[in-house]
Structure 1
Amino acid sequence: MTPSLREKVGQLLMVGFRGCRPSECGSIARDIREHHLGGIILFDQEMADRSLPRRNIESPDQVRELVRHLQAQAAIPLLTAIDQEGGRVNRLKPVYGFPESFSHEELGRVDDAAETYRHSEVIAQTLSALGLNLNLAPVVDLDAHPDNPIIKGKGRSFSSDPEVVARHAAEFVRAHRAHHVMTCAKHFPGHGSATADTHLGLVDVTQTWRERELIPFQRLIADGLCDMIMSAHVFNGRLDPRRPATLSKEVITGLLRGRLGFNGVVCSDDMEMKAISSQYGLENSVPDAIAAGVDVLCFGNNLSYDPTIAGKACDILVRAVESGRVLPRRIDESYDRVVALKRKAGLVS
């Protein structure tokens, strides 16, 4: 049976939610059923309301039960995602009963590929045991600027050398694949040279970005080690004089798909980051990202919280197709890529 436009559009959304237990997750469960969501993303900390004690993570058994419950709501199995890079970007912390992890920076400093594989395998085994099938990692940004607050400042880069980054990222991916967990290389076309944080506003890397920041992406793509690539919300006037990467057809379709030859799923960074939300708004950013070539729109629903965000995004995309702003074939292309990824992961037959 041919899926409807709404069913296709729902598969292009990955949405965060509040609640640790099935009884607390009625809203997201309803969205999965009614809006046909393609994926969910888990966080441990509540960002929009710090008075709330927790987000989605309390213990291994609790996460396992939560993921199992939400998967049961889906007609097409969900991408169940988390940012588990290691080090400071670490949702599954020891305080909740999970293994200690190491940052990309720490592993890059040791510079032992076997050691990176071993530590990455611990992460992959942990995710697999919980029913989480997508790790939004590795970071393949270069350690390219000493004043970078979000990559350098949080120890998220393996190295300033693109070949070292590519080598360790490849081990990270292989370790995950050994345990049937997909990965997402980020942040294309490079966030390492930024001097500001896209969570907080528009970030311009026109003067600091260098072509060598593409090398880790090129290596992973050439070696067949990219399940998914995440776009950055950075503005790079040398690549597109008008739009940030996530909304840029020149960057996503021209550079990533055309020049680098990536045919897999492109996921946006969180569409609620201020670099996008404060500049463009949902009505513009949602259709523009899809038109640019992005396949999956991520709404962490944590920087700000809106229990109706899934329905809003679906409605915006449906209207965009009906008005001619987004071509139906763009929805079909992205839907087909998402289903192909799920098939590759063994989620659908």
Structure 2
Amino acid sequence: MVAGLAGCGTNAQTPPQQPASPSAAPSPTFDEAALRRKIASLLVVGFRGQTVSSNDWIVQAIQNGLGGVILFDKEIETNAPRNITSPAQVTALVKSLKDASPGGKLIVSIDQEGGQVARLNPSNGFPATKSEQEIGAQNSPAATRAWAQQIVDSLNSIGANLNYAPVVDLNTNPNNPAIGQLQRSFSANVNVVVSNATEEIQVHRAGKVKTSIKHFPGFGTATGNTDFDVVDVSATWTPTQLEPFQQLIRNGMADSVLVAHLLIRQLDPNLPASLSPAVVTNLLRGQLGFQGPAVSDDMQAAAITRRYGLNEAVELGLKAGLDLLVFANQQTYDPNVVDETLDNVVNLVRTGRLTEAQIDQAVARVDTLRP
């Protein structure tokens, strides 16, 4: 399936020379170069290296309109340093990336939750931070603000402007390997989660850093990690898991919402949440009324790649209503992922499976995350 779609995407750069047969649907007319830049602006991509030069593929992608990058401290397989080795080094790296961006509107994103999930940490010269679970146990607005300020100060110091945080999953299953065991949740109590997340988001906003509440529609009951396998939470997920998201959205506290690769058969019997119109369009946008950008979890995660080709997953995600597609380039490293994805989505528009109006809507939403 991947090879077939990828080949189709590659051909998309050269319009067919033969006239369409009478039975073929008319192709939409569009400015392909302009469309490619629009699509590029919807992608956030990971890359290797602590420095970059003008010849690097990531720099060239940024110059051609890539929406953003995601920074990691370590390679997931080898634990070798990836993008961050010291404050001075990563600050210079971010400046080089931003300098390549037309208009300086590059999204520089990172997972800086606190505790064990903090890409800026003592091993690379940044302060240690408490976990959300520790902060939730204190449940003190002043302590939460001080903790959040420490996180924002580190982000501001390097020039990052989008933090994939806070986690607002309920700590329903403390043995959850993706959430509970890593102390990533404030609490099992909805009110504790919402109040502490609100404090954290307000501090980020004061520091001009956007946030992404995660992992919609609720990861707290899981017994697996979508980074490594498909996780079906149908037997344990309940609508209570939605309540933190619902309250934060209603209170205007959601800059963006990150959608998980969870299978919840009550919501969609076949598709994971991230690729499901029932979840992204009907539930998140319709029922919960969220009008901002919907962000994908890593599109190269095992939960996706074991069931779908990348091109198929991108098509399903955009049709579902995702706006910002994240490619961590960790579990799979593909320097061609930007060009391949642009070819794929241009072909989707050309063949009428997506419309340019849908792309334009996504661009408008994602633009709200730009500095």
Segments of structure 1 that go 5 or more residues without pairing to the other structure are none
Q: CA deviation at 1:24?
A: 9.2
2 CA distance for matches of 1:335 and 1:316? 17
Does structure 2 conserve the Cα–Cα contact (< 8 Å) formed by 1:143 and 1:159? yes
TM alignment of 1:193-208, pairs within 5 A:
193-208=221-236
* CA-based RMSD: 1.4
Does structure 1 conserve the Cα–Cα contact (< 8 Å) formed by 2:221 and 2:233? yes
Q: CA deviation at 1:187?
A: 0.4
Say which is worse superposed, 124-133 or 17-26, in terms of deviation: 17-26
TM-score (norm 2): 0.89
Give 1:224's aligned residue: 252
**Deviations 1:79-116 (Å, cap 9, x if unpaired)?**
10000000010100112111110100111111112211
Segments of structure 2 that go 5 or more residues without pairing to the other structure are 1-30
2 CA distance for matches of 1:178 and 1:28? 30
What SS does structure 2 have at the residue aligned with 1:186?
strand
1 CA distance for matches of 2:134 and 2:280? 31
TM-score (norm 1): 0.94
- Counterpart amino acid of 2:209? V
Matched, 1:14 2:41: no
Does structure 1 conserve the Cα–Cα contact (< 8 Å) formed by 2:53 and 2:59? no
Match among 234, 242, 247 for residue 214 of structure 1: 242
Match among 23, 28, 37 for residue 58 of structure 2: 28
- Counterpart amino acid of 1:73? A
Give 1:257's aligned residue: 285
2 CA distance for matches of 1:203 and 1:22? 36
Structure number with greater Rg is 2
2 CA distance for matches of 1:147 and 1:281? 31
Matched, 1:291 2:319: yes
- Counterpart amino acid of 2:234? T
Give 1:40's aligned residue: 69
- Counterpart amino acid of 1:11? S
Give 2:99's aligned residue: 72
1 CA distance for matches of 2:368 and 2:133? 33
Q: CA deviation at 1:63?
A: 0.9
What SS does structure 1 have at the residue aligned with 2:76?
coil
Same amino acid, percent of matched pairs: 44
Q: CA deviation at 1:340?
A: 3.1
Q: CA deviation at 1:341?
A: 3.0
- Counterpart amino acid of 1:111? N
TM alignment of 1:134-173, pairs within 5 A:
134-173=162-201
1 CA distance for matches of 2:130 and 2:263? 30
What SS does structure 1 have at the residue aligned with 2:346?
helix
What SS does structure 1 have at the residue aligned with 2:294?
strand
**Deviations 1:193-239 (Å, cap 9, x if unpaired)?**
11111111111111100111111111111111111110000000000
What SS does structure 2 have at the residue aligned with 1:45?
coil
Matched, 1:275 2:307: no
- Counterpart amino acid of 2:69? I
2 CA distance for matches of 1:311 and 1:276? 20
Number of equivalent positions: 339
2 CA distance for matches of 1:116 and 1:25? 43
Give 1:60's aligned residue: 87
2 CA distance for matches of 1:324 and 1:278? 27
Give 2:127's aligned residue: 99
Give 2:8's aligned residue: none
Matched, 1:4 2:34: yes
1 CA distance for matches of 2:129 and 2:216? 24
What SS does structure 2 have at the residue aligned with 1:4?
helix
Does structure 2 conserve the Cα–Cα contact (< 8 Å) formed by 1:268 and 1:297? yes
2 CA distance for matches of 1:25 and 1:242? 43
Q: CA deviation at 1:22?
A: 2.4
- Counterpart amino acid of 2:238? R
2 CA distance for matches of 1:7 and 1:292? 21
Q: CA deviation at 1:25?
A: 7.6
1 CA distance for matches of 2:149 and 2:184? 18
Structure 1 segments (4+ residues) deviating >4 Å: none
